[in-house]
Amino acid sequence: MNEDHFGQKPTLKAISNAFHCDDTGSPFQSCIECKKELVESNEHYFIEKAIRRYPNSTETLTIFEFAICISCANQLNQSLSAESLSNITKFQMDKLRMRKIDSTSNRSEHPLSTCIFSGMDISQCEEYQIVGAFKGHDMIVSDFPFAISGSIIESMSEVLSPGTKDEFDDFVSKHFTGPPELQELWGKPKVILV
Ligand SMILES: [Zn+2]
């Protein structure tokens, strides 16, 4: 995602609990990469979480979560191959076209309750990721926030170049070890969506 996402008449809302840091129970305070303070400095940033739902339960476990400032997110994007970026954009556009929506219209009042690309009910997904955009104390509501089902994440990872997959794996292994009970998930494809 790039800075243009902040160009569309955004609405500001309080940061929902879904985007609080699980570790602290409070809003994220700093960028995972450069450690820059995000809230008091009124910085633009993203938060991403990968979540697993326990079978037959409403309980969830966060696989990884982070806040990243917009300049580090841009840097991460620039490290991806042109091929992967164009494949992923095409993948997303095709999915949205199939759902006959564009990313800025017809957004549900509860954008985290369905997968933006498949329309699947997130409460039925064993794994999913959520992404939001923020400025200081506020959540920016435009084409963010959104949720993506685990099955879409897997199909998305199939269009990535080997180099981009390595970038994502490096990012995840650099910052997270992951809960030991979820060891088997760490071999799964990862897609960083910010
Ligand atoms: Zn940063």
Q: How far is the CA of 54 from the centre of ligand 1 (A)?
A: 32
Residue 66 contacts residue 131 (beta carbons within 8 Å): no
Res. 21 pLDDT band, cuts 50 70 90: very high
Q: 194 alpha carbon to ligand 1 midpoint, in Å?
A: 12
pLDDT value, residue 184: 61
Q: Mean of the pLDDT values across residues 70-91? A: 91
Q: How far does residue 94's CA lie from ligand 1's centre (Å)?
A: 31
Q: Cα–chain-centroid distance for residue 125? A: 15
pLDDT tens-digit readout, 149-194: 999 999 999 999 999 988 888 898 889 876 666 656 656 667 888 8
| The model's pTM | 0.87
How sure is the predictor about 143, in pLDDT bands with cuts at 50, 70 and 90?
confident
* Higher per-residue pLDDT: 11 or 130: 130
Q: Which H or E run includes 165?
A: helix 162-175
| Span from the CA of 189 to the centroid of ligand 1 (angstroms) | 24
Cα of 43 vs centre of ligand 1, distance in Å, is 10
Ligand 1 centre from 64 Cα, in Å? 17
125 C-alpha vs ligand 1 centroid, how far in Å? 31
Question: Averaged over 120-148, what is the pLDDT?
Answer: 94
2 band by pLDDT with thresholds 50, 70 and 90: very low
CA of 70 to the centre of ligand 1 (A): 7
pLDDT score of 181? 61
The alpha carbon of residue 13 and the mean position of all alpha carbons in its chain are separated, in whole angstroms, by 18
Question: Which residues are near ligand 1, the ion (C-beta closer than 5 Å)?
Answer: 31, 33-34, 36, 69, 72
Question: Burial, 157: exposed, middle or buried (Cβ in 10 Å; 0-12, 13-18, 19+)?
Answer: middle
**Both tokens of residue 149?**
């089902």
Q: pLDDT at position 1, please?
A: 47
Do 64 and 128 form a contact (C-beta atoms < 8 A)?
Answer: no
pLDDT in the model for residue 112: 95
Task: State residue 6 phi and psi, 5-degree precision.
Answer: -90, 0
Say if residue 87 is exposed, middle or buried (CB neighbours under 10 Å; 0-12, 13-18, 19+): middle
pLDDT of residue 152: 94
Residue with tokens 């926030």: 145
First to last CA, the chain: 6
